[in-house]
Structure 1
Amino acid sequence: MNPPPAARPFLTQAGWGDADIQPLAGDASFRRYFRVVAPGRQAILMDAPPPHEDPRPFLAVAKWLNARGFAAPDILAEELAHGLVLLQDFGDARMRETVDAAPESELRLYEAAVDLLVRLHQEKPMDLRPYDAREYQREAGLLTEWYCPAVGIEPDVEGYRAAWDAVLPLAEAVLPVTVLRDYHAENLMLIDGGETLGLLDFQDALAGHPAYDLVSLLQDARRDVPPALEAAMLDRYCRITGAGEDFVTAYHVLGAQRNAKIVGIFTRLWRRDGKPRYPALCPRVWRYLNRDLDHPALGSVRAWFDANIPVGMRGDPMAPRG
């Protein structure tokens, strides 16, 4: 986790030449993050090296969010040739750790996160590529591309696509919203003394169905969201917005699609990228996926899973199998 060679000249040009550069935990991409500490101030250095990463979508979405009163990090400096961005530091108080340390805060913080989505979905969407059936199919296909071979299954790929074709029209967005796509407790920061939720990791935003980010929040791949809390927060969103059964159906369709994608991505992170910690998260994701498949509208997709991936093979792809 040494900073890139261009970091020091970049920081000097930005007026942070005297700062200490401290590594922070990375994420599932090629991006790396450092805390930049100078006397009386600190910031975050994002290293998004080309050609693997392009920080421009992050910058565009951050500016769009801030212009509408949402709390994305302020952009302090940028140097796109080397993929370097200096960001406002939101500190270390993530929603995930806060809830884990103080369970009594869980309901309040999830309510705040749902209410933030309600506000976001009231905004005219940013001019973004559509999150449509073609993209959903590509993402869902990561499960058959990566997970199935990892556990020794030769799936019916054509039948898989046909099963999704039968249900994805139920998740078409009549009125698209800005979908941040990774909206969950590890990407929500408590700032302003805990009174505001700060947003991170939104560079992949698209224009799509409002249920998608709600699924990201309530079917969190990295922490267990109790089913009762999920149901209460889904009801809260529907009650505030007036969404009905069509929205709930879309929620479960997109839940199944997202969780299938995540199982594939977590397996790929192990098999292709040498990151073996991710498969251990798959059993939780499978639990969410199995619950979504119980929705009556997902009959074709559930039938495919029952025929191709036995329940006993839905778990950690690294786990030994007898």
Structure 2
Amino acid sequence: MSDLPQDLDSFLAAAGWGDAEIAPLPGDASFRRYFRVTKGGAAAMLMHAPPPHEDPRPFIAVARWLAEHGLRAPAILSAEPAAGWVLLEDFGNSRFREHVDAHPDNERPLYEGAVDALVALHRLGPGPFPVYDLAEYSREAGLFTEWFCPDRGLAVDARDWRAAWDVVLAPVLTRQAPGVVVLKDYHAENIMLPPDGTQGLIDFQDALVGHPAYDLVSLLQDARRDVLPILERAMLDRYIAAAAPGPEFEADYAVLGAQRNAKIVGVFTRLARRDGKPRYLGLIPRVWALLERDLAHPALRPVAAWFADNIPASVRANLGSTAA
């Protein structure tokens, strides 16, 4: 494969995988590339996350921490972070998303397993990762006004947007302490189903110490597949019964749902307009519908008021249009 980096062969040889067959795998929204390497009946996953666009060290650190604490992260077989190479345990080809779509009768038990994994993760408390603080929440929410609003020709009050989020997030941050490990992108396309019957975690390199509701929102308000409200409610109840997170948990769930969904609308717009990946525009209507639903919660009144003042009803009613 002529387009592979020149140092690939030397990395694989040093890792004991010299002369392995290499097959590229579909990529994601980042600069990372993935390959499956096979040799003598054995298989492994190869990730290339080259600097300066990527840094594999956070992924390696989170993977090792999760594995040390009993979570199903892929084992690190070999790594050369300075060159962006990481050789990982191969979880196989079965992914939560495609499996559920093909076997809808398995949907509820698989979501139950995913929720139970979060319960187990949250019982560990905060890990040695950066804190998900107000500055980061605000930066992420700001992607909405930075990318989506200009793309729709909307002149909005970005300062009041930030101020509304400051008000809404203040009590959430108080209740967030001391925090739990937040994987940041925990959803059906980032959960693998290895042959051993477990649920394998991937794409967790951005882990932070944050609020226990965040990954639950990521799982149940999925940007890429529909989760019926009745299933979302059942899984939310399952988490609350097991974790007893407190009386304001559902308010925090709505706030973080709105924050995440606003961020995703901005990110998907950026991927389309800056990075030439227009397919992400087709996902925005689903995310927008989730955002509107979250905004109906009383805990989001300041942000909902900003929407009423800044986003025309015609835009809010016609998000199905993704024309340039």
Instruction: Tell me which interval the TM-score lies in, with the shorter structure as reference length.
Output: over 0.9
Residue deviations 1:52-74 (CA, integer Å, cap 9, x gap): 00000000000000001111111
Residue deviations 1:36-87 (CA, integer Å, cap 9, x gap): 1112111111010101000000000000000011111111111122101111
Unpaired stretches in structure 2, ≥5 consecutive residues: none
Change over 3 Å in CA distance of 1:36–1:311 after alignment to 2: farther
TM-score scaled by structure 1? Answer: 0.96
Q: Superposition pairs for residues 146-295 of structure 1, below 5 Å?
A: 146-172=147-173, 173-193=176-196, 195-295=197-297
Task: Indicate yes or no: 2:108 matched with 1:107.
Answer: yes
Letter in 2 for 1:273: D
Change over 3 Å in CA distance of 1:311–1:87 after alignment to 2: farther
Q: Superposition pairs for residues 49-68 of structure 1, below 5 Å?
A: 49-68=50-69
Q: Superposition pairs for residues 107-126 of structure 1, below 5 Å?
A: 107-126=108-127
Residue deviations 1:225-247 (CA, integer Å, cap 9, x gap): 11111111111111111123311
Unpaired stretches in structure 1, ≥5 consecutive residues: none
> What's the % identity of the aligned pairs?
61
1:131 maps to 132
Distance 1:94 1:7 in 2: 27
Letter in 1 for 2:323: A
RMSD of aligned alpha carbons: 1.3
Residue deviations 1:268-287 (CA, integer Å, cap 9, x gap): 11111111111111111001
Letter in 2 for 1:64: W
Letter in 1 for 2:84: G
* 298-307 vs 213-222, which moves further: 298-307
Distance 1:227 1:135 in 2: 29
CA apart distance, 1:318:
3.4
Other structure's SS at 1:22 match: strand
Letter in 2 for 1:10: F
Letter in 1 for 2:322: M
Task: Name segments (4+ residues, structure 1) moved above 2 Å.
Answer: 314-320
Change over 3 Å in CA distance of 1:5–1:316 after alignment to 2: farther
TM-score scaled by structure 2? Answer: 0.96
The answer as to whether partners of 2:23 and 2:37 remain within 8 angstroms in 1 is yes
Residue deviations 1:9-47 (CA, integer Å, cap 9, x gap): 111111111211111011111101011111211111101
CA apart distance, 1:170:
2.8
Letter in 2 for 1:186: E
Residue deviations 1:232-271 (CA, integer Å, cap 9, x gap): 1111111111123311100000000000000000111111
Distance 1:270 1:73 in 2: 31
2:323 maps to 319
Other structure's SS at 1:249 match: helix
Distance 1:81 1:179 in 2: 26
